[in-house]
Amino acid sequence: MPRNPLRLAVLLLPLVLAAACGKGDAKTEGKAGGQGGAQQPLQVATIKVATKKVPVSLEAVGQAEGSRDVEIRGRVSGILEKRLYNEGEAVKAGQPLFLIDPAPYALAVEQAKAALVQERVKRELADTDAKRLQPLADEKAISRRELDQALATEKTAVASIAAAEARLKQAELDLSYTHVSAPISGITGRALRSEGSLVTANTDASLLTTLAQVDPIWVRFPLAEADYNRMRGAERQAKVQIIGDDGTVLADNGRLNFAGTTVDSRTGAVQLRAEFPNPRTRWLPGQFAKVRVLAGEQNAILVPQSAMLQNDQSRIVMTVGPENKVVPKPVQTANWLGQDAIVTGGLADGDTVIVDNLIKVRPGATVQPKGPAPAQASAK
């Protein structure tokens, strides 16, 4: 062994540097191994699905209409003097709406009364003549022909009185028609004739306004032939709802009161109509509304709408398969029920469906399932 200390230091330096390099490489490898190791699986909320009885749910867009729509027309001719209602307001049956100048018709009533009095006087005279001539005819002081003429005059007077009474009733009826009233309770439309206009009976100029009964309100809507066939036979038991834009149920007390007997050859749809109570006039004629028909039951699986993906060919849900691998499954859906989709095919009882992080999951990726989110849990 060399005894020179300087020479010994020179000989040992390469060994010290090699040892130092080895420790540095080990630390670097340890850090790299910590950063580049396998990532934790993505956590996803899931639900286990099961087949259950659910209503046959069909949705469509319909339009509200009055259960009774009435045209208010003038039944006599004359100058329109007054409008007696506020346009667009609710009115009761029998409430006055318009007044047509009644003066000419009041005069006609007085004339008819006078004519009736004249006819009654003529009858009294004919009765007196017949009674005076009867004894003379019995004594053959006059010819039988004279008596027959007197009796005929008496009968003619009776008929004339009946005719005069009818003319008086007609005149009184025409006078009553100058007061135009609401035949039903409902919501009034705008006035189509202003004060001072000439109303002509039995022409287009006789139309004064319209009146719609809105309680109950009717909603008319089409259903595709295939959808209608799913509910045929259950129309009387069907429940109809009005759905808001956000999916909430605004009214659930509707019933079908009409179902068409033909399929429209242009649209392939059947027309239906539902009736809803409308005491507060929440729905107005002409208003569009989304309706949902619940008729009968079917076996299906409910899946939250948030779990649904759509491609060019079908709807897809992401499920958790063996070894927590993501498995996409195409599904067949019937319709929506609230916030859930009605799945009629593609899923089996016990399948685990992913309901969140759908943007991040990829087919074949490993995920870590967890319980459903509070919204889905409460919905189930």
Give the pLDDT score at 31.
42
If you compute the radius of gyration of the chain from its CA atoms, what whole number of angstroms results? 46
More confident residue, 6 or 88: 88
Residue 35's pLDDT band (cuts 50, 70, 90): very low
Burial class (CB in 10 A: 0-12, 13-18, 19+), 70: middle
CB 58 within 8 A of CB 335: yes
CB 361 within 8 A of CB 320: no
As a whole number, the mean pLDDT across the chain is 85
Integer CA distances (angstroms), 62 to 77, 186, 252, 282, 290, in order? 40, 21, 15, 16, 6
**SS3 state at 254:** strand
- Summarize pLDDT for 165-174 with one digit per residue, the tens: 999 999 999 9
CB 306 within 8 A of CB 355: yes
Give the pLDDT score at 334.
79
More confident residue, 77 or 56: 77
Encode burial over 250-280: b for 16+ CB neighbours within 10 A, e otherwise. Answer: ebeebebeebeeeeeeeeebbbbbbbbebee
- Summarize pLDDT for 59-103 with one digit per residue, the tens: 899 999 999 999 999 999 999 999 999 998 899 999 999 999 999
- Amino acid identity for residue 188 in this structure: T
Residue 136's pLDDT band (cuts 50, 70, 90): confident
Q: What is the pTM of this model?
A: 0.64
The most confident of 204-208, 235-239, 340-344, by mean pLDDT: 204-208
Give the pLDDT score at 374.
53
Pairing label, strands 78-83, 198-199: antiparallel
Residue 35 phi/psi, 5-degree rounding, is: -85, -35
Sequential DSSP letters for 18-45:
HHHHHHHHHHHHHHHHHHSSPPPPEEEE
Pairing label, strands 309-310, 90-91: unpaired
- Summarize pLDDT for 297-322 with one digit per residue, the tens: 888 899 998 898 988 778 899 999 99
CB 343 within 8 A of CB 333: yes
Closest CA to 288 of 225, 217, 190: 217
For each of the domains in the chain, give its residue range(s) and CATH number, in order of start. 43-52+299-379 (2.40.420.20), 58-66+215-297 (2.40.30.170), 73-101+178-210 (2.40.50.100), 103-177 (1.10.287)
Give the pLDDT score at 328.
92
Residue 373's pLDDT band (cuts 50, 70, 90): low
Residue 12's pLDDT band (cuts 50, 70, 90): very low
